[in-house]
Amino acid sequence: MPLRRAALALALTLIATQTFAATGRPEDRLADPALETRAEAIGRDLRCMVCQNQSIEDSDADLARDLRRIVRERVSAGDSDAAVVNFVHDRYGDFVLLRPPFNPVTALLWGMPAIAFGGGVLVILARRRRAPAGIEPAPLTDTERQRLAELERGDSA
């Protein structure tokens, strides 16, 4: 039973730590819980340009903190979610979006997984077709043949 209590305490501590870490500093949070929830949801779709693989809500970088403040200011000003995302997108471009739109500029980005997979399959197939059936040993030299004959007769050098 004590082990279960310790495991439960550890799990609750980890959950609480993640929750508090993701919310940033308390002074940056909005007083209205509904607005804060909206701001967090918007922030989860925006990329931290310093960390690059984290949302601004998950990042501790100064730029992410500034972007979180901008998002919260726009949400507090009454902007819709789309208007807030457009505001940030207009200033930082497609790179700030964790899910960039599909357009001619980002088509290669979206198609790269399929291209890489197809290229890998082609390389594997090409190697299979070119693979030799077996490697033939080089023919023996005269010296090697003589030595082999001596060994077969039982002569020792």
* Residue pLDDT, tens place only, 95-113: 888 887 788 877 887 888 9
Residue 120 has what pLDDT? 93
pLDDT single digits (tens) 69-99: 999 989 888 888 899 999 999 898 888 888 8
Low-confidence spans in the chain with pLDDT less than 50: 20-22
* pLDDT at position 122: 92
The 3-state secondary structure of the chain reads CHHHHHHHHHHHHHHHHHHHHHCCCHHHCCCCHHHHHHHHHHHCCEECCCCCCCECCCCCCHHHHHHHHHHHHHHHCCCCHHHHHHHHHHHHCHHHECCCCCCCCCHHHHHHHHHHHHHHHHHHHHHHHHCCCCCCCCCCCHHHHHHHHHHHHCCCC
Comparing CA positions, the residue from 79, 95, 99, 76 lying closest to residue 87 is 79
Residue (of 24, 35, 102, 99) closest to 67 by Cα position:
24
